[in-house]
Amino acid sequence: IIIDESDDSLDSFKRAVALGYSGTSHKNCKGIFKSLHNRRIVCELNREAGEERYFQSAEDLANLPIIPLQQDLATVAALGIPHVERNGHHYFRGLDHLPPAEAAAVLKAHPDLYQPFANSARLLIRNGSLNVASLQGEGFGYACELSLEERLPLEDWSCSM
């Protein structure tokens, strides 16, 4: 059993372990430093137990590319978590939300993570896995300039359905 939504303080995972829980989840929205803190606890508990009894999972179900997704993937890689529950790419059409020049820059900077698709790009998923090698470097998972001047101004946003 993992503590997830109720993991709201620095001591919540330790309290959950005392109740019989064996895992915690990483989500960037909980805070990267909190996940690093919980990773340390997992390692300490496993060392004390003499076996891999405690674990840290990862999920982020609707993290859009580029910065949120790439920073989350970089964090998961740094934490050493081999699997992430992620399905937001099924609900959003790749990099279509980006200006074309920015999508092209992302493709160039991260050819291991994205592939061309229609007039844009999408995640490159091979055998259920993402290659995150290009995220390992300066910029915490992002190596391109944002094209803020090409974005739709806030006053032009519409939420009509």
More confident residue, 40 or 99: 40
The encoded tokens of residue 20 equal 């019989």
pLDDT value at 49 more than 90: yes
pTM of the model: 0.86
125-149 confidence digits (pLDDT tens): 999 899 999 998 888 888 888 877 8
Secondary structure in 3-state letters for 121-149: EEECCECCECCCHHHCCCCCCCCCCCCHH
Other beta carbons within 10 angstroms of residue 30's beta carbon come to 16
- Alpha carbons 150 and 9: distance in angstroms, whole number: 39
Left (φ > 0), alpha (ψ -120 to 50) or beta: where does 94 sit?
left
Tell me the backbone φ, ψ of residue 67, rounded to 5 degrees: -65, -50
pLDDT in tens, 61-97: 778 888 889 999 999 999 999 988 887 777 788 898 8
Helix, strand, coil abundance in the chain, percent, nearest 5: 40, 15, 45
Supply the mean pLDDT for the chain.
89
- The percent of residues in the chain predicted with pLDDT above 70, rounded, is 98
Query: What pLDDT is recorded for position 161?
Result: 61
